[in-house]
Structure 1
Amino acid sequence: MSYGLRLRRILETGVGAPRQLINASWQRSLEAGVDPESPAAPLVYDGSLIKDVRTAHPLQPLLPMLAHSLKQMADESEHIMIVTDADGGVLWRDGDHGTMRRADLVGLADGHHWSETSVGTNGIGTALTTRKPVHVYSQEHLLRVLHCWSCSSAPIIDPDTDTVLGCVDVSGTTRSLHPATVALVATTAKLAEAQLALRMYERDERLRRRYDRLPPRSGVLIAATGRVLSGDPANLLGARIHLPEPGSTSCPAGILEPFFDGFLLRPAELSEPLPLRLTFLGDGQPTVRYGDRSLPLSLRHAEILTLLALYARGLTAEQLSYYLYGDDGNPATIRAEIYRLRIQLGGAVAAKPYRLMAPVVADFLELRRLLAGGDASAIARAYTGPLLPRSESPEIRCARDELEVQVRTRLLTCGSADDLWAYAQTANGRDDFQILERVAATLPFTDHRAAAARARLSP
């Protein structure tokens, strides 16, 4: 009788069945289609990916503490220590070098997958499934190739979200582990959870301090993970709210507005939409401010926001692509950029067609309004330079040139010497002979601005 059939016979008859924890794990593993004769755990993260996966994982900052707690014991007992992600993917491994070489043969190494659905009953996969510390000895493993291994594992559970983040494990090629091993591993996991809780409390406290500076009735303070932190004394919302999908700000409890590393929750009927403030004129870095956040912005995202602000009714991906790239544009590229932009700005950007849902306060739109009827001095103060001067977008270049011509014409026609000098400080005004000649002729000869204008006019 094959090994797999013998396992199934044991489960069916109960004769020679293992303890209940292992029995239940065998059942789950065989129902998942795991082959007991599999030679090794599968590889899920190759060398090109594992470094990025480690860096992004929330347990990465805790690795020194985990290693300090377990590595010496692993070295002395010829065992290895392992830390995995929530799916059982091995992220880090250390310990006895001889044992690590033997572990390589069964895939107990960086990047390999040790969930129950991949390799059946094992310390890592079973601890992740049950959310409890476990020890799995020798023939309790489902895979025959693991019968020379024993392991003790404990899950690490995020105190913020109550989700499993990963697992810490000690394994070795012995028939049994010291009885204290599983207790040591469980204690190490609890230490990691305590560190995570401390970091969570520190984040919460920083948010509360900023929230306490707001006017009364500013909304309910919500952590980035949905926990209710302050502003709900009657506990009407409970401990946590369900957050909407990325790109949306609406949830059953009201409207979420970004607030530093968290959110403010306002009742939908009382909430006023946050303005989107765009500063795109001049030589400086384009900036966008949404709520209390000042967001980093690439030139491409600044170009997209400019076009959506200029075309308030919205644009399709095809139209945006043409306005940005001309005939060489690819709508798929635009869709990818919009997706990234919506992650940053949430409900401020809508789709089908792409359009801005938040009230827009933009320096170039304000300049347009002033050109339609404002006085020259207001125009000179508002115009700090060309619209996105580094942009090569055909549509933005057209809008940039149009603003430049209108500003220059208005100031030459109606502007004072002060207004003309303000324009002379912009990128295009610095070497504008007509502007400089007017400044030199209008201001007193001894005025430092007239002298600077004459110097610029000199060959």
Structure 2
Amino acid sequence: MFDAEGSPSADELVADSVRLRRIYDDDLGSGGRTGSPRSVVSDSWQRSLAARIDPESRLPPVVYDADEVTSIREDHPLHGVLPLLRTTLVSIADEAMHVMLVTDADGHILWRDGAHGLLHSADDVGLMEGTRWSEDAIGTNAMGTALAVDEPVRIHSAEHLVRTFHDWTCVAAPVHDPDTGDTIGAIDISGPLHTVHPALVQLVTATAHLAENQLRVRLAIADERLRVKNMPHLAKLRGVESALLSPSGRVIASEPYGRFPERIRLVAGSDRVDLGDGREMAVEELGEGYLLVPPSRRRGRVVASAGATTLGLRFTGGAGPRITVDGEEAAATLRPAEILTALALHPDGLSGEQLTLMLYGDEGNPTTVRGEIHRLRSSLGTELLQTRPYRLAAVPDADFLQVRDALREGRTADALDACHGELLPRSEAPAVRELRDELTAGLRHAVLASGDAGLLHRFTGHPLGADDLEAHEKLLELLDPDDPRRGAVAARVERLLA
């Protein structure tokens, strides 16, 4: 579009913008002969129109609120390279009246920085955290198109499909995970069309490569830590064919050397893997990463740390959830308690989608759950709360599991002993609501059906039975006329009736 050896003048920028708007109007309207858009733009327009993007749309959709953006940032791989991006791009953006933007792989803006005077203008067109800029959300734009074609892209003026952005020029480049090669986000510089500079494409592309290099260094450091920490597992096997894998399935150590492929595809929830050459190996989860061993040498479920090996959960009753790790008890907030409840009910583990459904229902977002899991792992320890799939490495001593198991085995008295009240009474998580209803109704039915006056008397003094008129009346029927408890029970019946 411009000669890369020099900066275009303001008049040249305006003239080019006018030319592009004529092409835009002709291509999307009358089909005139003023020229054609660049192929990367034309292809993007076609994809965007196929996604039913209206060129007269106003703003991109807002997907995440401020709190959600904060939690998602913490778990995103680009979080650690933000200092590099700011050092490289923000000072340039400030001077040139541009905004630096960083998205995730789906085009959601997670970070924004740059010229303070331009941020209000950016807000006006939706260039702010939490908005989605994929092509299928807001049409052709540098961030969305760079993610779609997996290449650096510049979109100038009327090359944007949506007319709202014709006064802007944007340059973006994708960033890749050096471990898997997957696209994890995009880096973008956006500003008013009269501030465009031909070197911006090279600058943003170079910055994306710098970010990938820094991620590669961090990956090498993480690999070495994992290798040092877990090499004793290989040493204990004394030459038996085995391998140490990264969390993504890369082989970072093996015995003997060279007997395994560079990467092994792990299936969530499976404890076996077929290497494709007739060999089958057992998969054992470590605190971080995996150990492959012959099935005959499988050691069973692994807790890779001498630290957090016992977990107690007291989630019934109105006093609030309590978590005990290795004998140390602490209060817990509602969301971690809900996550631990779901995981305790599914000892074989849950995928991100399954856990999201149990916590939020159909409207949930797995990205939000990943952020919550990240914070919970930081609190409990990565060895105790494992991933791929999400699961607990220790069998929890949970009061709600004790109640459920006792009811299923017909041990009504034990169920009453273990229950302190409703399960997480403030929770609206679907999995918790379902279990809460099961335990509350099941315990009440079992006590009433028992015909045991002593059990009924205990239930009427329990949080679940204190206001249960039927239970009090049933107890009154079972008590002998001279039983000293009759007076208090009769008085309670009268109060409940009143």
- Using the alignment, how far apart are the partners of 2:64 and 2:285 within structure 1? 34
- Asked if residue 342 in structure 1 is aligned to residue 355 in structure 2, the reply is no
Q: What's the secondary structure of 2:137's corresponding residue?
A: helix
- Asked if residue 267 in structure 1 is aligned to residue 290 in structure 2, the reply is no
Residue equivalent to 2:440 = none
Shift of 1:190: 1.0
1:399-456 deviation digits (Å, cap 9, x = unpaired): 9x9xxxxxxxxxxxxxxxxxxxxxxxxxxxxxxxxxxxxxxxxxxxxxxxxxxxxxxx
Residue equivalent to 2:250 = 227
Q: What's the secondary structure of 1:299's corresponding residue?
A: strand
- Using the alignment, how far apart are the partners of 2:387 and 2:118 within structure 1? 49
Shift of 1:207: 2.2
1:330-351 deviation digits (Å, cap 9, x = unpaired): x99965532477364689999x
> 5 Å matches for 1:234-249?
235=258, 237-245=260-268, 247-249=269-271
- Asked if residue 143 in structure 1 is aligned to residue 162 in structure 2, the reply is yes
The 1:257–1:100 alpha-carbon spacing in structure 2 relative to 1, beyond 3 Å, is same
1:18-57 deviation digits (Å, cap 9, x = unpaired): 1111111111111111111110111011123111111221
Aligned-pair identity (%): 36
Asked if the contact 1:152/1:170 (under 8 Å) is kept, the reply is: yes
Asked if the contact 2:286/2:303 (under 8 Å) is kept, the reply is: no
1:214-269 deviation digits (Å, cap 9, x = unpaired): 23226111110011112166745422111111x3322223211123421111233x
Segment drifting more, 109-118 vs 93-102: 93-102
Asked if the contact 1:119/1:143 (under 8 Å) is kept, the reply is: yes
The 1:52–1:333 alpha-carbon spacing in structure 2 relative to 1, beyond 3 Å, is closer
- Using the alignment, how far apart are the partners of 2:131 and 2:294 within structure 1? 47
Q: CA RMSD in A?
A: 3.9
Which of 140, 143, 146 is residue 127 of structure 1 equivalent to?
Answer: 146
Which amino acid is the alignment partner of residue 62 of structure 1? V
1:263-303 deviation digits (Å, cap 9, x = unpaired): 111233x332425xxxxxxxxxxxxx635675465413999
Matched length: 324
Gaps of 5+ in 1: 276-288, 304-330, 351-355, 363-386, 402-459
> 5 Å matches for 1:59-98?
59-98=78-117
- Using the alignment, how far apart are the partners of 1:347 and 1:118 within structure 2? 30
Q: What's the secondary structure of 1:300's corresponding residue?
A: strand
Which of 203, 209, 230 is residue 184 of structure 1 equivalent to?
Answer: 203
Residue equivalent to 2:303 = 290
The 1:388–1:145 alpha-carbon spacing in structure 2 relative to 1, beyond 3 Å, is closer
Q: What's the secondary structure of 1:81's corresponding residue?
A: strand
The 1:388–1:337 alpha-carbon spacing in structure 2 relative to 1, beyond 3 Å, is closer
- Asked if residue 115 in structure 1 is aligned to residue 134 in structure 2, the reply is yes
Using the size of structure 1 for normalisation, the TM-score is 0.62
The 1:165–1:14 alpha-carbon spacing in structure 2 relative to 1, beyond 3 Å, is farther
Using the size of structure 2 for normalisation, the TM-score is 0.57
Q: What's the secondary structure of 2:155's corresponding residue?
A: strand
Which amino acid is the alignment partner of residue 345 of structure 2? I
- Using the alignment, how far apart are the partners of 1:132 and 1:113 within structure 2? 19
The 1:230–1:349 alpha-carbon spacing in structure 2 relative to 1, beyond 3 Å, is closer
- Using the alignment, how far apart are the partners of 2:314 and 2:284 within structure 1? 21
Residue equivalent to 2:312 = 299
1:288-337 deviation digits (Å, cap 9, x = unpaired): x635675465413999xxxxxxxxxxxxxxxxxxxxxxxxxxx9996553
- Using the alignment, how far apart are the partners of 2:213 and 2:28 within structure 1? 41
The structure having more radius of gyration, on CA atoms, is 1
- Using the alignment, how far apart are the partners of 1:332 and 1:170 within structure 2? 38
- Using the alignment, how far apart are the partners of 2:105 and 2:49 within structure 1? 21
Q: What's the secondary structure of 1:71's corresponding residue?
A: helix
Which amino acid is the alignment partner of residue 274 of structure 1? G
Which of 264, 267, 272 is residue 250 of structure 1 equivalent to?
Answer: 272
Which amino acid is the alignment partner of residue 241 of structure 1? I
- Using the alignment, how far apart are the partners of 2:339 and 2:224 within structure 1? 42
The 1:71–1:256 alpha-carbon spacing in structure 2 relative to 1, beyond 3 Å, is same
